[in-house]
Structure 1
């Protein structure tokens, strides 16, 4: 049997813990051997779940990286502005890297990481998980057959669920772009990545509009308190934290959900611990009084070098899923991500419905709390293949270099948005403005 690939994890928030659990699907090939996080309860949970020795558990990524190399690869799942330094240190130590998106909010750091990866011959896989989903994989195959001809336009919708917006971008870690990243980069760099990948063309110009429309103090209902537990408007408020984290059919602990988003409030959710977190923690604050500044809706238009266009509409006021409509010179492809199905409609012919509910490769997708359609587990599968030398370079890997095109487009979109929707020339932005 081949030697197992060993993994250290820096950052044991929801994503870090989820990737660790995805590794269990491939336990004959990969194992978690070390972990680091400043929250002791998270480290203890990881130690117990993965049977880690105490000397392989650390209170910080810095402490872990002071040691001699402990694993073949490191998962860096810290906050957006905390990716660069551990990634640079890890490269020097000889680790390969799985890097949570976005890579960083700062283009100079992207360039430095690219140079360091080349210098140290580091394999870096960025967590653009949508590329790995059967849904987008099968759409890409259909596009590449030429069945709908040349793509002229793509319209895509990133429907940020109403409670997800409140959880992550109003109350949560990504509520303030001055502390993390603009929302179009943090939330949608992998939407932009998948659209550029499907289009198969280079972006030349970007324009964008959007703003923070609703989640601000002037829109608070009469009787709203600073916290949901002391609010006279909570009965009629869909964003009431008690409804989301306790009562909701899909997200509430009282209905059996002890994973995301509940495990962001406390490492081991129980009804009692969730009630305490709502009473005293950040996720029980009124959504109209959270000091957030990121947008709650934004539209991005990308023009390709050949004149084709892509429109991405990100909106927080939805109950739906990602959708995509790809319009070509010979036909159209329309898909709904949550349905795990799409329709190919050649002009003048009968439509063909394609379902991706059967997961290929023997990967079990019993529960995907992030709604990523199995992409997280397929990402881990691809990491294993990459480190074993079994991957086909240039096909589906979200390498560091490939990932950064979406990052530049996202920041160009933000540049456009804050300047009233002005057109941003991407080459100029990349080579000087970015």
Structure 2
């Protein structure tokens, strides 16, 4: 029995520390005016709660669930707070790292792949200058390294004569092919460093070389070569006087003299031909296509011009003209190579990559180099002049066959034509 004036029986002894009202802390919401949390004030229960010895159930106070303090660090590369907090209010050490390579938005055609989120008007211009400077430096490095190896093997310095660096024709051809092949990594580096996009987006809309599609496109390329040879024989029979300069077919040099140059050409020509496609059908088409206008014009005439500029045709014309100027052809040969460049450029945009252009370019150049090597005429590999008009006449149906075949195969194989 409790004594008079003392605490009730079975009540715990009074704790003076409980005399101070407890302040709502972290994880405890403030209570409305006039209310107290259980345990506030004297004793161990609030006036709003029944005493524990009465046996009545106690009401549990509402405690708001709060995240642990301090906040836990998210895994590297993930936004903190579940991505709910705006980027600008995040601490610097919690911000996700900036993405280095930004691909083009989904649904972008090949000729506009350079139009990513980092695109600015000056990037294609600076990239072209970077590509030219890099090609010059790497070409000079190849010449120096080749000359050093030549001196170590032969003991003599290279005997430069005119445009030829070395006295041997095959060595000159091999060094030239290597100097052209070095353009491929130069283009990939320029795309990555200047335009801030995947380096192999210059190859296809999938940001890679589609090897299966490239090898499949070799079948129409072989058909092109067969048709070109057949139409050439037919044109020579119908128009025997079309070419005023008679061709010297040469003679078979023998297997022993042919196998060495043939192996060297088989190893180097694919890289040289692919490098030219990376530059002319890859970089140049996308550099010009990056300037296609986005907004709509109010004037009907301006709107029509802008819609034409959005098509790949301006980029195809510019890249094809530069491709012709990079060679030494004249007359009908210039028209023929311009038609070649326009056809493979159109197929590049139509199929979403340069694989078909590489297939045709490689096989055509292999035939152009292997035939002189087999007939002892490799010394004229650098001669680029005119051609009879029958060359263009026979090349038109051959290129048409290649274009139709590649388009049909791409549709049949469901080749991607826009970025995914």
Q: What's the TM-score once normalised by structure 1's chain length?
A: 0.19
More strand by share: 1
Q: What's the TM-score once normalised by structure 2's chain length?
A: 0.19
